[in-house]
Amino acid sequence: MHTVKDVMFIQDLFKLTKSVLKDIAADLDIDTSLNKNELVMRIYPARTRFSEETISKIENRILATKATAVTWYRFDDGLSVDEFRRLIRENSNFDPFTSRNPIQESDVTTDPELLIGSKGLNDSGTFLRYIYKSGVRYETTPTMIRTISKSAISTVYYDANRGILEIRGDTRKAPDIARKVAQTLQLQITMEPIEAPFEQEMGAIADRLNGQLTEATSKPELYFEEFSEDEMNSVVNVLKALDEYMQTKDSDVLETHLQNASDSFMQGEAIVPFAALVLSGMETVGMAGSSEIRTLPLFSYLNPYLQHQGGFIKFPFIIRNVEETFTIRIGITTQSVVFVSQVTEGVIDFVRDRVII
């Protein structure tokens, strides 16, 4: 049965860091002074000669590289790992766990096609790799313009212990690939996107990872459908009056403009917070820092009036007894997690365990 090294493609090697590639090259007696492209082009044809030491260096990284975006789906009736693999075999026109789909790249369409599969790094995991047409580019020559199709490969990971299907790749293609897996299984099952992590505050996700929320992009809570010109002017006048007061210490002008704003935006007995008034005139609000932004006074002040759309979280993770820092981007609207840092399967497992509730 295939293992992770057998489902590796040349594009996967390009995503590894140069330091990792140099280590692999050294194991294969390949010149380590070559540039990254040359290293990949020399290493890939020699992949059948990988030693156990070389495999150990890449199997935890090759499908979990930088800029990996993941989307999760849950089966309503979890399948054992053996049952999952059996159904994939029986309902495909080849055995993806012992051979590779002979499809030519020129025949690839936007409908994802299963290329190859392997067992995971633990007994409950299974990897599947799908190829699909991702776009078209144009190449010009002195006499013509040639159309060239672009294809992409997405990785599917099935965690039998949790009944979770993880799609790694373009989040826009994830629903198509999830449906393709469900069709291949040919079972009356429901596969629902896992939304729970994205229905909570990003700060809660950061806490689950023992991390820090370092950046947030948000939309203001809209208290009004639209501002009239007079209402907008009253807000601007308050801000101007604050600037003037800092210079002149004349509170009369400031008091006048504050009263005008209060009269304009009184809603019955309720008074709309001034922060909400200022934010309601904005499309998006972004806040960022080198460390935890929830401790910033401005974030604490504005947070009640914001709808978070996404953000960045830094968190620690120990690899080989060394604590390293990793960064993920949370997409609330896309319901996905993007691993910004170069990561390993262990890091993805950690986030999956802590984030999915």
Distance CA 307, CA 152 (A): 33
pTM of the prediction? Answer: 0.83
Q: Would you call 107 exposed, middle or buried from its count of C-beta atoms within 10 A (0-12, 13-18, 19+)?
A: exposed
pLDDT category, 335, cuts 50, 70, 90? confident
With cut-offs at 50, 70 and 90, classify the pLDDT of residue 187.
confident
8 A C-beta contact, residue 31 and residue 86:
no
Number of other residues whose CB lies within 10 A of the CB of residue 245:
16
| pLDDT (mean) for 325-339 | 88
Report, as an integer, the average pLDDT of 200-217.
Answer: 89
pLDDT tens for each residue of 136-149: 888 887 888 888 88
Q: What is the pLDDT of residues 220-270, one digit of tens each?
A: 776 555 556 666 676 677 777 777 777 777 677 777 767 776 666 655 444
Least confident of 72-76, 204-208, 225-229, 308-312: 225-229
Q: What is the pLDDT of residue 177?
A: 93
| Tokens representing residue 332 in the block | 């609330």
How distant, in Å, are the alpha carbons of 144, 151, 171, 352 from that of 140? 6, 19, 31, 45
Q: For residue 277, what pLDDT is reported?
A: 63
In which band, very low, low, confident or very high, does the pLDDT at 214 lie, cut at 50, 70 and 90? very high
Per-residue pLDDT, 266: 58
pLDDT tens, residue by residue, 34-68: 999 999 999 999 988 888 888 888 899 999 877 78
Residue 200 phi, psi dihedral angles, 5° rounding = -115, 170
- The pLDDT of residue 302 is 80
Per mean pLDDT, which range of 16-20, 180-184, 249-253, 343-347 is the poorest? Answer: 249-253
Report the C-alpha gap between 80 and 159 in whole angstroms.
9
Amino acid 327: pLDDT: 93
Average pLDDT of the segment spanning 189-212:
83
CA-to-CA distance for 284 and 150, rounded, in angstroms?
34
For 292-330, letters b (16+ CB in 10 Å) and e give bbbeeeebeebbebbebbbbbbbbebeeeeeeeebbbbb
Residue 30 Cα distances to 8, 11, 26, 46, angstroms: 19, 19, 6, 10
Pairing mode, if any, of strands 113-119 and 164-168? unpaired
- Tens-place pLDDT, residues 89-142: 999 999 999 999 999 888 899 999 999 999 999 889 999 999 999 888 888 878
- What does the pLDDT read at residue 274? 65
User: What is the structure's pLDDT at 273?
Assistant: 66
Taking CB atoms within 8 Å and a gap of at least 24, the contacts of 98-107 are 98/1, 98/2, 101/131, 103/131, 105/131, 105/149, 105/151, 106/149
